[in-house]
Copies of this chain bind each other. A is one copy, B any other.
Amino acid sequence: MEKLITLWEGSGLYNLELGQAVMILVGLGLLYLAIYKKFEPLLLVPIGFGGILANIPEAGLAISALDQAIHVANPAVLQQMASTLGATLDPLASVEAWRETLVYLVNDGASPDQLRAARDVATNVGYSDGLLYVFYSLAITTGIAPLIIFMGVGAMTDFGPLLANPRTLFLGAAAQFGIFATVFGAVGMSAMGWMDFSINQAAAIGIIGGADGPTSIYVSSMLAPELLGAIAVAAYAYMALVPLIQPPIMRLLTTKKEREIAMTQLRPVSKLEKIVFPLLLLVLVALFLPDAAPLLGMFCFGNLMRECGVVERLTDTAQNALINIVTIVLGLAVGSKLMAESFLALETLGIMGLGIVAFGIGTSAGVLMAKLMNLVSRMPINPLIGAAGVSAVPMAARVANKVGLESNPHNFLLMHAMGPNVAGVIGSAVAAGVMIKYLG
């Protein structure tokens, strides 16, 4: 009978907190978007599922052995942990109060040595790190997962259109205004007292406007890991929404005539140029912005493997088995940050709101930059391809193509839009480097 009570008291239903229930619904919602609305399913299926796993009451899949022990261990173990943390627990207080004291000690007061000792206590009595916590530690805290994915993206990227028309790099630069305007927006909301974002958090939020999943995850894991869940969800969701967000802005900022501009055919690009480009980019990064070196270095590595043509085995693995394995692990690890206490906050709404603004401003800046370039240059640029500068490869380029076809059914902009599109990837990685430089 006693055992039956243990079973019931250990069940999810008995322990389910409202926040967890809501987060499970949020996870199911993400899965719905991923599966039925095709919102970046490769990432949102694992993230959504990971979010559900992270919120299963008592399972502790997303927390460390130490947190798990604090949350569910018996009073004797709690006292032992408190003593290793150099504190004594008030014998008159409730066990719940003890747990809260320990949470406070672990997060604020304890030295690394004490934490190690407390962790030893927890593992000695049989608690272990949750699977998603292990994934997070291995894949995201070390930076390995986003960087490997960026390498794979590099191995899938063709810089040909960019090399044929290097000026499109300016479009990729302009579209990063979405990032910095959002940073300013976020600090503005905090200054207004609406939200409470630090400058680091504002920077991590801003990078959503870079429309690059791995870059967003990398930056927020360094500057604001507590917001990583919301930021990753916003980044991937809005990337999927690019076909809805961008066209109205593009139409608003351009005349029909501008949208009909036909662009001169791109010159063929030699193999050698494609091989030299990633090395050139790498050297510039090395000289001017070492803080972007992990991101752009791995990106250039992937691209060099692709273009050099002598390591097809490795390129194939970087584009397939490796990126897929890392995507599964990364997705589940990001899902581990979809825990109620951190996700169900006003800040998440702020992030979602700011994220969409970031996309809009980035799109506008790209389009306006293209119009500006038309003023100063002879070679005509269709301003629609400026919108592709936000990256969201290859979605934004396809959107530019589609909107262009609406105005002129014979005007295929896809290849022209691929230039600013991949330039946007470089642009946001550079922006990420600047932010890490100042705030990291």
Contact = CB atoms under 8 A, between A and B. Distances in A.
Interface of A: 3, 6-7, 10-13, 15-16, 24, 28, 31, 34-35, 38, 41-42, 45-46, 49, 52-53, 55-59, 61, 111-113, 117, 120, 124, 126, 128-131, 134, 141-144, 147, 275, 279, 282-283, 285-291, 293-294, 297-298, 300-301, 304-305, 308-311, 313-314, 316-318, 320-322, 324-325, 327-328, 332, 434, 437-438, 440
Contacts of A15: 290
A234 to B, nearest CB: 20
A131 B3 CA distance: 42
B275 A56 contact: no
Nearest to A317: B324
A324 B314 contact: yes
Contacts of A134: 142-144
Contacts of A294: 59, 61, 130-131
Contacts of A12: 285-290
Contacts of A301: 46, 49, 53, 332
Given A10-B437, A45-B308, A120 B131 contact: no
A321 B318 contact: no
Contacts of A57: 286, 290
Most buried by B among A52, A434, A440: A52
B285 A45 contact: no
27 contacts: A10-B290, A11-B287, A11-B290, A12-B287, A28-B279, A31-B304, A34-B310, A41-B310, A42-B313, A45-B304, A45-B305, A45-B308, A56-B285, A57-B286, A57-B290, A58-B290, A128-B143, A129-B142, A131-B143, A134-B143, A313-B320, A313-B324, A314-B328, A317-B320, A321-B324, A322-B324, A322-B328
